Amino acid sequence: MIIGEPAPPPGGPTRDRGGPAQPLLSVKGLIKHFGQKKGFLTKAGPVVRAVDGVDFDVAKGETLGIVGESGCGKSTTARLVMQIINPDAGEILFDGEAVGSQALGLNAFRRQVQMVFQDSYASLNPRLTVEDTIAFGPRVHGATRRAAATRAHDLLHRVGLEPARFAGRYPHELSGGQRQRVNIARALALDPRLLILDEAVSALDKSVEAQVLNLLLDLKDEFGLTYMFISHDLNVVRFMSNRVMVMYLGKVAEFGPSEALFETPRHPYTGALLASMPSMDPDARTEVAPLAGDPPNPINPPPGCRFNPRCAKSAALCAHQEPTLLAAGEGDHRAACWLVDPSSGHPRLAA
């Protein structure tokens, strides 16, 4: 705890430790299982393998999009990175330093990583005014009342809410779009480097969603931010992201540069997700659903490739052996599918 320390200068040159080539965030072998563990008197219950061995990194200044169906572990991954819940295993490095270590304590880490949630109303304290909400973080981290209030007004202005009109309002006096702007302002109050946006625009009306997406792009340029952008809307993820990670049942199915991944998806699951988006062409409506059934439960995932029971290209091999992420095209495009491994012996490769 470093209470009393003044907030670091915005965009200060000293903040970047490892240089531009070092990833801002580096996650290795992240695992989180929920459920009852076997104890002295208790039997082990069913275990939800929410996140089951996830590796990725986020480069400085980029936006990493994360997509997948409900239960794929995308929100759990965000919460693990944010240290809201503790991982069972895995390493999280922030600009080269292990989170929670001597060099980077939790408090210092949380100042640099902030999160915006989907439910703009539930994530605001109904008894705090907009100004107090935004000033809360700086106050906790030692800013004076006056400095925190000034900061709050400045941020309100930056997110497009006129401070004179909005500073004294309570959350219930705001529209959904305005509330989400307040949440974004609050997240920026400690001058973070990484912003985790977990379905942050999903609950907004379409005409407001576009405004908030534009705002996020502007703020990213202005404050030199890095984003982790989680959404179920593939069009929005494609628009926002430099690179995209597709998750399925707690694992990474595919990872790659946004354009490559959307233009030439290499994992059959990514292809099915893309094909599930509603068509915008009245003359070419969807005729066959790309996937049948609901997303499976992350309790007892199937052996082998976790997607194999729903996969149109599944072969005997897929039910026994689990594929790892392998290079699948240009840049760091990778997919966990036997079809990208020429030596896997998948029957479709021979054809």
Binders in 85-144 for other proteins, by CB under 8 A: none
Q: What is the spatial distance between Cα 179 and Cα 153, in angstroms, rounded to a whole number?
A: 15
CA dist 204 to 51, 109, 220, Å?
28, 29, 20
CA distances from 60 to 115, 144, 162 (A): 17, 31, 31
For residue 178, state whether it binds other proteins (rule: CB under 8 A).
Answer: yes
Per DSSP, the chain holds a count of helices (H) and strands (E) of: 12, 12
293 scored as a contact of other proteins (CB under 8 A): yes
Q: Is 250 in the site for other proteins (CB under 8 A)?
A: no
Nearest residue to 155 (alpha-carbon basis) of 118, 130, 122, 126: 130
> Is residue 241 a contact residue for other proteins (CB under 8 A)?
yes
Question: For residue 219, which of 173, 257, 244, 186 has the smallest C-alpha distance?
Answer: 186
Query: Hunting for tokens 């292809």 — which residue is that?
Result: 271
Reduced to 3 states, what is the DSSP secondary structure of residue 16? coil
Kind and range of the H or E element at 72?
A: none
286 binds other proteins (CB under 8 A): yes
Place of tokens 């006129």: 162
Single residue of 44, 276, 312, 320 touching other proteins by CB under 8 A = 276
Instruction: Pick one of 16, 57, 259, 341: the residue that binds other proteins (CB under 8 A).
Output: 259
Q: Which stretch binds other proteins (CB under 8 A): 12-20, 32-40, 137-145, 288-296?
A: 288-296
Is residue 172 near other proteins by the rule CB under 8 A? no
In sequence order, the 6+-apart residues with CB closer than 8 A to the CB of 33 are 47, 48, 49, 50, 52, 88
Provide the residue type at 334 as one letter.
R
Segment contacting other proteins (CB under 8 A): 5-13, 46-54, 278-286, 331-339?
Answer: 278-286
| Interaction between residue 3 and other proteins (CB under 8 A) | no
**Strand, helix or coil for residue 293:** coil
Asked if 300 is part of the footprint of other proteins (rule: CB under 8 A), the reply reads no
CB of 118 to other proteins, least distance (A): 12
Q: Which of 148, 240, 245, 339 binds other proteins (CB under 8 A)?
A: 240
**Is residue 309 part of the contact set for other proteins (CB under 8 A)?**
no
Listed ranges 40-48, 171-179, 325-333, 336-344: which one lies at the site for other proteins (CB under 8 A): 171-179
By CB under 8 A, residue 235 contacts other proteins: yes
Site for other proteins in 24-83 (CB under 8 A): 69-70
Binding region for other proteins (CB under 8 A) out of 11-19, 80-88, 203-211, 334-342:
203-211
Q: Whole-number minimum distance, CB 21 to other proteins, in Å?
A: 21
- For residue 169, state whether it binds other proteins (rule: CB under 8 A): no
Gyration radius of the chain over CA positions: 22
Tokens of 42: 């208790």
Residues that bind other proteins (CB under 8 A): 69-70, 175-178, 205-211, 213-214, 217-218, 232-236, 238-242, 258-259, 272-273, 276-283, 285-295
